[in-house]
């Protein structure tokens, strides 16, 4: 089966290939397939956005691929009623950048005590397939929001996201450490498990 990834992120594509290569014979990014498409992510949940992107991309790709994998992810902070959530990338408005998003986050949490700064990174991956129902699963990783940035790695909210099992912020983790526990890795593992169960039921 041929799988199209609704992304051009090389690191994300590599991770997906590692986890799903046993389920698909050929896995390509949009750039590798020569496909250009921007799907408006206007859903209110990660699941809605991931499914919309996967379904619309599969329809656009025609019969060149058997399936399309898309994802949507973000940071959900309990003290902010789950914000920034699906608006994580544009939390500080259009023309956003990581620094502005983080500055707004920390300003909103200025008076929130440490035990109330719980948060989680969430990632929903959706697999749209020709002639079959789509699959959507969500992976999460729990943490807390720091008062000041720590670490130089990662991107987005990583410098402020403290992961207790490692005693470090996500920006202090190596790429290998982060990939092993990330919300995307957990979502992809859940997808692989769902595909394995589905395949066994067809035997």
What is the 8-class DSSP label of residue 104?
Answer: H
Its pTM stands at 0.91
* Spatial CA neighbour of 194 closest among 101, 110, 117, 132: 132
What is the total count of domains within the chain?
Answer: 1
Q: Residue 146 is part of a domain; what is its CATH number?
A: 3.90.950.10
- The domain in which residue 80 lies consists of 2-201
Residues marked active site are found at 72
DSSP-assigned beta bridge partners for residue 127:
69, 135
- Phi–psi pair at 137, nearest 5 degrees: -135, 155
Q: Give the pLDDT of the chain (203 residues) as one tens digit per residue.
A: 899 999 888 878 888 888 888 888 899 999 999 999 999 989 999 999 999 999 999 999 988 999 999 999 999 999 999 999 999 989 998 777 899 999 999 999 999 999 999 999 999 999 999 989 999 999 999 999 999 999 998 889 999 999 999 999 999 999 889 989 999 999 999 999 999 888 777 65
């Amino acid at each position: 089966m041929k799988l199209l990834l609704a992304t051009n992120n090389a690191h994300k594509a590599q991770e997906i290939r590692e986890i799903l290569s046993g389920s698909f014979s050929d896995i390509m990014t949009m750039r590798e397939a020569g496909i250009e498409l921007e799907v408006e992510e206007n859903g209110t949940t990660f699941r809605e956005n991931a499914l919309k992107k996967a379904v619309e991309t599969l329809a656009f790709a025609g019969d060149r691929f058997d399936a399309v994998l898309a994802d949507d992810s973000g940071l959900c902070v309990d003290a902010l009623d789950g914000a920034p959530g699906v608006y994580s990338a544009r939390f500080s408005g259009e023309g956003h950048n990581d620094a502005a998003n983080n500055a707004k986050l920390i300003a909103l949490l200025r008076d929130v005590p440490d035990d109330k700064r719980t948060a989680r990174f969430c990632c929903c991956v959706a697999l749209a397939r020709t002639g079959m129902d789509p699959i959507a699963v969500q992976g999460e990783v729990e943490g807390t929001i720091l008062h000041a940035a720590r670490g130089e790695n990662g991107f987005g909210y990583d410098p402020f996201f403290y992961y207790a099992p490692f005693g470090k912020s996500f920006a202090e983790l190596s790429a290998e450490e982060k990939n092993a526990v990330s919300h995307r890795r957990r979502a992809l593992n859940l997808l692989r498990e769902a595909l394995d169960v589905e395949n066994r039921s067809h035997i």
